[in-house]
Amino acid sequence: MTRTEPAGTPLGDDFHLYDTTLRDGAQREGISYSVADKLAVARLLDELGVGFIEGGWPGALPKDTEFFAKAAAGELILKHAVLVAFGSTRKAGTTAAQDGQVRALLDAQAPVVTLVAKSDRRHIERALRVDVPEACAMVADTVSFLVGEGRRVFLDAEHFFDGYAYDSDTSLRVLDAAMTAGADLVVLCDTNGGQLPLGLAETVRTVSERTGFRLGIHCQDDTSCAVANSIAAVQAGATHVQCTANGYGERAGNADLFAVAGNLVTKLDMPVLPAGNAAELTRVSHALAEIANIAPDAHHAYVGGSAFAHKAGLHASAIKVDPLLYNHIDPALVGNDMRVLVTEMAGRASLELKGRELGVDLAGRPEALTSAVNKVKRLEAGGWSFEAADASLELLLRQEIEGPAEQPFTLESYRVVLDHHAGGEVVSEATVKVHVGGERVIATAEGNGPVHALDAALRKALTPHLSWLDRVELADYKVRILAGHPGTDAVTRVLIESSDGEREWTTVGVHGNIVEASWLALCDALVHKSLRI
């Protein structure tokens, strides 16, 4: 095994963008990667172009052992990244060569090993229950053994910042033990996540000056500063930064790979990804959220669906003058789009921009635009909201330009019955009467609740006539009760997100009756889909 350096990244070995989604990210509550998931995550991170991928803790976790075995067997071919095995230094009172956990790190066959070691005297004495000389010997012994076996070794100095503030001498001795034994670099870890950027940068600078060691940084987000702390550490001299996809991690999470990379590339002009690959940040972030089975955060910096969305009328009119006056970067740099939200706060300018985004050209149709603005305003005053319902807005705008869309079916009537029986059982049943494909169809179905029953009955009635309906799923359903103005009744607003496996679209319905509001959103969803058959 030879030493391997990240080949595909522009800064080569001078700077490490190091991902630990598969190890530290997997600590997040609710994440449980299968081995296949782990391989898929690694491939996406490699496509993006990170320098190092920490794959897990072989020997400690069976799935991680299997992941490294599959990688060694050729199931994971990396173009840019180098694979890293994570583990601990040897136990007290033995040798590295005899320590099973250390041997498992070798068996994993990854070219790099990252070792974690305690660097806070309180943790050494109270959790590890050894003295400082033995703690340093555990580090030195394990590092030199692995280096002797041809591995490149990085040391994660756990609880470094808290330890350094408490007893800097001990913390520096741990770093020194690793570097003297042949480690490539030492990673200062804010394990409890309590640091703030100015103080952290000062510590990184001081440690760099006192030791001359190559330094890395690993931040947790407990002060909501993990990204800022990581960037501040780089500005203070760290040349290796550990992150996780979407900030996944224990407690408040880790430093988010996408915001860190976005900041390094666009703010500090550091080409930490292969040329052009920053434009993959948004796609890769969303794909990794899918694999983790966590809804992407729309408000995620750089890559969120709302990261470049503008709502305030104050801004929207000026955005037409020059988009860059109101965006901190060109969204295309990170593969994102500028969206314009349509709300009661905005007017003609934003609706025209929005139409362009939806493929409806209102620029040459001032009368249609006026009519659409008035319609949107009237509807929004009645509780409708199109900012999250692009599909309903598109239908509304098309109607202004093209007239009413052809309906795939028409409703005659529906009835929903909810029974709470004397025995306590609750049953929902719906019957629809619709006209579709020249026929009158009546269908009845049960559901968990009134809307579910209605959706089931409608599908039962339509699917024999509309084969594409099979692929359309109700992906998400949101309800908001809007308080009425004095003298009026409250209304219910329903947002329905639909999916056909390739595309997702959102529609809105508003009515005093929640079932009718849901019905309206459901119909819009089907009409919108039918326009794309």
Contacts of 148 (CB under 8 A, 6+ apart): none
Q: Does 483 bind its own copies (CB under 8 A)?
A: yes
Span near its own copies by CB under 8 A; candidates 72-80, 138-146, 463-471, 484-492: 484-492
Positions 236 through 295 that interact with its own copies (CB under 8 A): 247, 250-253, 256, 259, 262-263, 267-268, 293
Phi first, then psi: give them for residue 138, nearest 5 degrees: -60, -40
Other Cβ atoms within 10 Å of 1 Cβ, number: 11
Q: How far is CA 294 from the centre of its chain?
A: 7
> Helical H runs in 407-513?
450-462
Positions 293 through 322 that interact with its own copies (CB under 8 A): 293, 298-302, 304, 306-312, 314-315, 317-318, 321-322
Q: Does 328 bind its own copies (CB under 8 A)?
A: yes
Span near its own copies by CB under 8 A; candidates 97-105, 145-153, 283-291, 341-349: 341-349
Q: Which of 47, 156, 184, 221 binds its own copies (CB under 8 A)?
A: 221
Report yes or no: 87 and 101 within 8 Å, Cβ to Cβ. yes
User: Which two three-digit tokens encode residue 70?
Assistant: 């599959």
Q: Does 74 bind its own copies (CB under 8 A)?
A: no
Q: Does 489 bind its own copies (CB under 8 A)?
A: yes
Report yes or no: 45 and 245 within 8 Å, Cβ to Cβ. yes
Q: Does 385 bind its own copies (CB under 8 A)?
A: yes
Positions 4 through 23 that interact with its own copies (CB under 8 A): none
Report yes or no: 359 and 397 within 8 Å, Cβ to Cβ. no
Smallest gap, in angstroms, from Cβ of residue 482 to its own copies? 7
Q: Which of 270, 358, 388, 405 binds its own copies (CB under 8 A)?
A: 388
Q: Does 193 bind its own copies (CB under 8 A)?
A: yes
The binding track of 391-430 with respect to its own copies, each residue x by CB under 8 A or -, is --------------------xxxxxxxxxxxx---x-x--
Q: Does 99 bind its own copies (CB under 8 A)?
A: no
Which of residues 64 and 184 has its CB atom nearest to its own copies in the complex? 64
3-class DSSP assignment, residue 17: strand
Which of residues 144 and 254 has its CB atom nearest to its own copies in the complex? 254
Which of 97, 24, 108, 102 minimizes the C-alpha distance to 71? 108
Bridge partners, 352 (sequence order): none
Residue given tokens 């100095």 in the structure block: 157
Is residue 226 left, alpha or beta, with left meaning phi > 0 and alpha meaning psi from -120 to 50? alpha
Smallest gap, in angstroms, from Cβ of residue 383 to its own copies? 9
Question: In whole angstroms, what is the distance from residue 159 CA to residue 143 CA?
Answer: 19
Q: Does 166 bind its own copies (CB under 8 A)?
A: no
Which of residues 128 and 368 has its CB atom nearest to its own copies in the complex? 128
Report yes or no: 20 and 245 within 8 Å, Cβ to Cβ. no
Contacts of 290 (CB under 8 A, 6+ apart): none
Phi first, then psi: give them for residue 424, nearest 5 degrees: 100, -10
Q: Which of 55, 58, 59, 197 binds its own copies (CB under 8 A)?
A: 197
Give the alpha-carbon dihedral of 233, 235, 237, 242, to 10 degrees.
40
Smallest gap, in angstroms, from Cβ of residue 7 to its own copies? 29
The binding track of 361-380 with respect to its own copies, each residue x by CB under 8 A or -, is --------------------
Q: Which of 77, 275, 325, 533 binds its own copies (CB under 8 A)?
A: 325
Count, residues near its own copies per rule CB under 8 A: 116
Q: Which of 133, 148, 150, 512 binds its own copies (CB under 8 A)?
A: 512
Which of residues 43 and 311 has its CB atom nearest to its own copies in the complex? 311
Residue 11: is it exposed, middle or buried by C-beta count within 10 angstroms (0-12/13-18/19+)? middle
